[in-house]
């Protein structure tokens, strides 16, 4: 096995971004101390902070760095003070995504701890036990290509070609195989009406027959899945893979299922774990990791932000980019323990978004202590 650790580019961004990134990196310090792994950290700017300094949301230098590191750890970008600025702060992240070719956006949908099920807007008996990974293709489809925009006519070509479909299908297969036995995979499309969906379905089927014969693949129509997410979400425990447009909508919907923006991590991968595709210098996958939430300008500067989404993004980084599965599991376990501390007879350690009164630092320190104990 290669030496543990590697090179990361840290882009804290704006508002609560730096607040939660600082705390998550303290957890990384503890992982280093406990395991001997070493993470070389290069800090730079992206978003409004980059606009202020360089008059651009991201510089060419940072884009180059993003291609050279093993992983990027991102906070959040944007805020009302850059309201009319062009380019806008959020464009920096889009340019990094494109440069890194992080085509697979992963959003886990599960409860960060057992008591968090109470926060869901869905009835407990329907939502309890939900545990799926949603993969959104993020470099193709209707959001790219040559758009036509006229006064009375517009066209967004919704295109996919074989290599784009094959690579995201491989991510789904590889993730399913991380469980033993492998979890099932659902490929989501609108093959009843869209030509590109029919090609998507045929190519995904081919890849699974050839490369993942032991993974069960099923096909699901996107509109029907939107309903089933609400009525029968646990029926999809496993891996779900879909295109850019459906993935955009379904990932927001799946985020809503658990009801806590401050707890949702994400990963964007340039390859499939365990394959040569997108492999970084330490045998993991090149990826960018960030919370689902934005920069929360309404609470920034007050030490009130929930650090959990950023900390869980760190766990995903360790798992996919650095093959540190045990450490990732321990971080998730530590977070769960802290979220449930009151239910388990201890003090309540929850930030305001979870109905508690803890500060970012309180919660972070509790998580750090727990990680230290577990590693």
The DSSP H or E segment spanning 132 is strand 131-137
Q: Which of 156, 248, 329, 333 binds Mg ion (CB under 5 A)?
A: 248
Residues forming the active site: 143, 190, 223, 248, 252
67 binds, among ligand NAI, Mg ion, none (CB under 5 to 8 A by kind): none
Measure the CA angle with vertex 368, ends 68 and 111; round to 5°.
85
Which residues are CB-contacts of 125 (< 8 A; sequence separation ≥ 6)?
none
Residue placing its CB nearer to Mg ion in the complex, 104 or 324: 104
Q: Which of residues 252-271 bind ligand NAI (CB under 6 A)?
A: 261-262
Smallest separation, CB 90 to ligand NAI (Å): 5
| Closer of 248 and 333 to Mg ion (Cβ) | 248
By beta carbon distance, the residue nearest ligand NAI is: 294
**CA 99, 38, 314, 51 torsion-angle sign:** negative
Q: Could you give the string, one character per residue 58-87, with x where binding to Mg ion holds by CB under 5 A and - elsewhere?
A: ------------------------------
Q: What is the 3-state secondary structure (H, E, C) of 263-304?
A: HCEEEEECCCCCCCCCECCCCCECEEEEECCCCCCCCCCCCC
* DSSP-derived 3-state class of residue 347: coil
Partner from ligand NAI, Mg ion, none binding residue 293, C-beta < 5-8 Å depending on class: ligand NAI
First to last CA, the chain: 20
Q: Contact region for ligand NAI (CB under 6 A) — 155-163, 170-178, 229-237, 288-296?
A: 288-296
Min separation Cβ 119 and Mg ion, Å: 21
Binding flag, residue 76, ligand NAI (CB under 6 A): yes
* Site size for Mg ion (CB under 5 A): 2
Measured from the CB atom, the residue of 67 and 248 that comes closer to Mg ion is: 248
Tokens representing 137 are: 């293709």
Gap between the Cα atoms of 73 and 75, Å rounded: 7
Cis omega (within 30 of 0) for bond into 181 = yes
**Which residue ranges make up the site for ligand NAI (CB under 6 A)?**
16, 76-79, 90, 93, 261-262, 290, 293-299, 305-306, 309, 351, 353
């Amino acid at each position: 096995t290669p030496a543990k650790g590697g090179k990361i580019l840290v882009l804290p961004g704006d508002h609560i971004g730096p607040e939660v990134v600082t705390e998550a990196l303290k957890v990384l310090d503890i992982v280093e101390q406990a395991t001997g792994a070493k993470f070389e950290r290069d800090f730079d700017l992206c978003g409004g902070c980059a606009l202020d300094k360089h008059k651009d949301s991201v510089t060419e230098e940072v884009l180059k760095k993003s291609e050279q590191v093993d992983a990027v750890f991102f906070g959040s970008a944007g805020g009302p003070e850059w309201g009319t600025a062009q380019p806008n702060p959020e464009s920096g992240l889009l340019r990094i995504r494109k440069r890194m070719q992080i085509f697979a956006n992963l959003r886990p949908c599960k409860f960060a701890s057992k008591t968090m099920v109470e926060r869901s807007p869905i009835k407990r008996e329907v939502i309890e036990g939900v545990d799926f990974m949603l993969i959104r293709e993020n470099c193709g489809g209707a959001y790219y290509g040559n758009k036509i925009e006229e006064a009375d006519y517009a066209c967004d070509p919704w295109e996919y070609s074989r290599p784009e479909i094959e690579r995201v299908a491989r991510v789904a297969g590889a993730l399913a195989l991380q469980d033993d036995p492998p979890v099932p995979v659902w490929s989501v499309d609108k093959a009843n009406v869209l030509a590109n969906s029919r090609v998507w379905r045929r190519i995904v089927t081919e890849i699974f027959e050839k490369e993942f014969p032991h993974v069960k693949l099923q096909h699901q129509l996107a509109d029907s899945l939107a309903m089933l997410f609400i009525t029968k979400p646990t029926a999809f425990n496993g891996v779900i893979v879909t295109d850019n447009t459906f993935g955009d909508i379904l990932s927001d919907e799946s985020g809503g299922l658990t009801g806590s923006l401050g707890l949702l991590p994400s990963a964007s991968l340039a390859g499939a774990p365990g394959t040569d595709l997108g492999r970084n210098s330490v045998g993991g996958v090149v990826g960018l990791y960030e919370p689902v939430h934005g920069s929360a300008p309404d609470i920034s500067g007050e030490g009130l932000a929930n650090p959990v989404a950023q900390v869980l993004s760190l766990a995903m980084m360790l798992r996919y980019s650095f093959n540190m599965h045990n450490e990732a599991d321990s971080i998730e376990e530590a977070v769960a323990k802290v979220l449930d501390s009151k239910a388990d007879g201890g003090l309540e350690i929850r930030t305001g978004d979870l109905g508690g009164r803890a500060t970012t630092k309180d919660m972070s320190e509790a998580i750090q202590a727990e990680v230290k104990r577990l590693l």
